[in-house]
Structure 1
Amino acid sequence: MKTSIVEIDKAAAILKLLGDKTRLTMVAMLYTNDCCVCEFVAIFKMSQPAISQHIRKLKDSGMVSETRKGQWIIYSLNKDSEYYPIVQDLLAHLPSQDYKLKELEEQGLRISCD
């Protein structure tokens, strides 16, 4: 498997971005699930504008991409990003965040965009 090399400045910027607990948790969730802003609002108990700011920073880095499904915008981890291998390695050392979405589902708050 070919390892891509990321310049130190870019790696530092990505690690700084992921140094925020909320963004790191979002990326961990997006590693296994696509999510809508409203799901993040419910999980993190933050305002929609605050969540959107976090998402914008992740999108601006190219780490996260969006897809429109009707009225919803669904966010996912961009597996084509040059930073994806770094993110993948980092997440291998962290616990899964899937339980957060499971709790949301049990509360009937998980969005179904199908």
Structure 2
Amino acid sequence: MVVERNIDNVAILLKLLGDKTKLTMVKILDSHDCCVCEFVGIFKISQPAISQHLRKLKDIGLVKETRKRQWIFYSLNKESDLYPIVRSLLLHIPSQDDKLKELEKEGLRISCE
């Protein structure tokens, strides 16, 4: 799903990215595919809460999902009309790879394989 870029969609995007959890998710998804269980481990919030965050990002076409066996992995939709805006914003945000490294250290990064 490609969402046409207009001022309404940009306003929705900026509102969504004004949430620290969603912004962090987007930064992680810019370079790593993740499943819900990994985000649960990173953010220490419930699976339904994580799913709601991802659904909102998916609804505007910024996040896409890929099924691998029983797991659904999420990634940033770099084909989205909104991605250039997001990409320019993400350049100013520090890497979040430490969150994934910590998850891996806890043995949770590979839980979806």
**TM-score (structure 2 length as normaliser):** 0.92
Determine the C-alpha separation between the residues in 2 that align with 1:100 and 1:17: 21
Q: Distance in 1 between matches of 2:11 and 2:46?
A: 28
1:54 aligns with 2:53: yes
Structure 1 distance, partners of 2:72, 2:59, is 16
**TM-score of the superposed pair, with normalisation by structure 1:** 0.92
In the alignment, structure 1 residue 72 sits paired with structure 2 residue 99:
no
For 1:67-106, what per-residue CA distance to the aligned partner results, in whole angstroms no more than 9, with x for missing partners?
0000100000000000100110000000011110011001
Gaps of 5+ in 2: none
Any idea what the Cα deviations from partners look like across 1:28-75, whole Å, max 9, x if unmatched?
A: 000110000000001000000000000000000100000000010000
Q: What residue in structure 2 maps to residue 26 of structure 1?
A: 25
Residue in 1 that maps onto 2:35: 36
CA distance in 2, matches of 1:86, 1:98: 21
Write the letter of the residue equivalent to 1:101. L
Query: Are 1:84 and 2:83 an aligned pair?
Result: yes
Quick one: percent identity of the two aligned structures? 71
CA contact (8 A) 1:36 1:111 kept: no
CA RMSD of aligned residues (A): 1.4
Runs of 4+ in 1 over 3 A off after TM superposition: none
Once the two structures are TM-superposed, the CA of residue 112 in structure 1 deviates from its matched residue by 5.8
